[in-house]
Structure 1
Amino acid sequence: MKLLSKKHGDYFEAHKGCPWMLVWRDPVTKKQHRRFEAEERRAREAAARIELQINARVSDVVPRVLTFTAAKDVFLDQYPPGATRDEYERTLDRFGTFCGKPDSEQWTLRVLDRFKQKRAADTTHIGKGEDGKPVPVRGTTINKDLRNLARFFNWCRARYDTPNPFDRLDRGEKRLKASPKLKGYWTPEQFKQFIAECPDPEWKAAAILGIHGVGRIGDIRRLTVANLDFERNYVLMTRANAQQKTGKEALCPIQPKYMAILADYVNHLPDGQVKLFTSKLHHTSWEYQVGKAKLPHLAFHWLRSCLVTWSVDAGQPIEWSSRLLRHSDIKVTRAHYDQANELKIAQRVVDNLPI
């Protein structure tokens, strides 16, 4: 049957026996109608339940109270099933578990402080070491949880006029943030110790590439064997997310003694292997290798900070390190690497004055 016209979602089609007659046909089946009606009914019931809870008052003096569970249900209903909804749901579940599902009267900075302390000490993230034993890993998404909570409290305040503990204007206090982690630092001797004692050849090769400024852990994962030039001792680093064509490729020099270690690592790879690393190079495995070498905690990304610090201590200008790390601005290097300040450079210049 041929479709003749369409207006406001109603479909008209020719009758089988009488082509000159138009018959209305609804494209939505009865099963879809029932599903749509059930979803609308559940949404109306949830909205009515919330309205009843926030409008229930003991007296005119008692402020409106919004329960955490009801607010969470309506807040999550506005997001379709997917990664965003799951992320908010995990954050709110952690908040309810750590803080006891407080109502709107208890949404204060003290509750957020309690959540921050318990979230920082959370060891529910369990990784596995090389021997298969579970290795507890501290939570690393505290700031993301705080951002999700801020969005939740802002939504509750805009819709139900509830207090927002993140609002510095009402509370007169600064916005709550997780205390920044102390940046780890290795000396050159400690890095050499890690290369000598690390039993995992993949992490040994990745650490060599990271300390030479080849790229971040995501860039290192994408490297192939063809990116290594053993004759001229450099690595061709490519970035898939670079905005400009000039930033997609860069040549990174490697010291000859460490290039020999990389050559030995490549020689032991299976024949025909294209990628340089077969594992995902997860941070939990890195922390396990650092602990096995009996070295202080150091995130893999902070190897770049060590590179800047060592170059500044050696008397090199910080601009050279910024170019090596391919930062868009020198301010980025100064902001992310506190130990690499220009005072050390100025001190060395003054000490070497021919006077």
Structure 2
Amino acid sequence: MGHEWKALKDRFGRLRADDLLDVDPGTHLTIAEVLSAEHIVERRAAGRKDGTILTELSRLRTVCNWAAQRGMMKAAPKWAMPPIPRARTRHLSREQFARFLESAAVPHLRLFAILGIATGGRMGAILELTWDRVDFERGHILLDNPERDRTAKGRALVPMNESARAALLQAKEAALTDYVIEWAGQPVASVKKGIRAIGKAAKVGVVSPHDFRHSAAVWMAEDGVSMSEIARYLGHKDSRITERVYARFSPEHLQRASQSLEVGEFTQKRLAKRSPGLPGTEIEKAFELGKSLLENKPRAAFVQLDEVSDRFVIQLKNGVALAIPPTIMQSLTGLLPGLLSEVEVIGSGHGLHSKTLGVDLLLLDLLAKAIGAPAEAKRRAS
């Protein structure tokens, strides 16, 4: 919290808690909303990323929510917040990991990489791992530290595969401390710099300790391991988190949805039945867009309702935007629920219940072709 407060105190430190609830006469927004919006602009100008800014303001919001719940504030303030950054899910292929290990000459870094893949554990869990939680007889590794305070991030009991067993037995013979990962007779606080250096030497790009966890999950998904099993392996308390990030790597991902879109009159009749009153041409457009979505590799995007044009604007990662008529979007929502995630709330104006839909979509040219409206595709002004 110290680093975050350092960034916040000049703007917020002079205020009493309830001052944040006052309304600014010029904007009709609360002081909290005005100051947090100013904070976002200033921090971006200083080169800070939205993830950093979000963390800073979230700390302040948490404190105020805590105070409001205990009657120390009249109410919890509303805040301006930057968008949540898309999660970084970089992973190594098996060939890249083999090259990484070939370049890993430092024993504790090599052992960390092997355990990162074999256990899918977070950096903190692996660095805190002690030998009393490595059970060679039963063949499992307990990543959870009984002496550690419980947090929202779960830690798992995982099986010990042969790669991990061989590496651990070798490390056990040379152990000088109770910690599995050690260097010069001392536990290790971080391996970020060392892992990055090995990745550079192996020419596999920028590698972080967390990439091994992602790689483990992706490899399991690619091999057809169920999302619930991967969730347990990673220590996720909610398998929806696992599915949102890793389901796309599974060969079974969207197979059932794809089968429902087999080309033929029957599928189009089903779509028409799900969207009564929709003109036939609109049904065909929605059907073709749905086929394209499932037949091509998805690209991440967001969809928002533009209340001015009364259309759904698809925003792609490359800055391209595309307007979709609500009738088509409504049909896709009913037909392809597997493509929609993290649904929040809006009114029922178009039979949808989301203000912002996280949707897996393909490239702009496929979208434009599918709905036959390339004139509506436009590059967002940079």
- TM-score, normalised with respect to structure 1: 0.49
| Structure index of larger Rg | 1
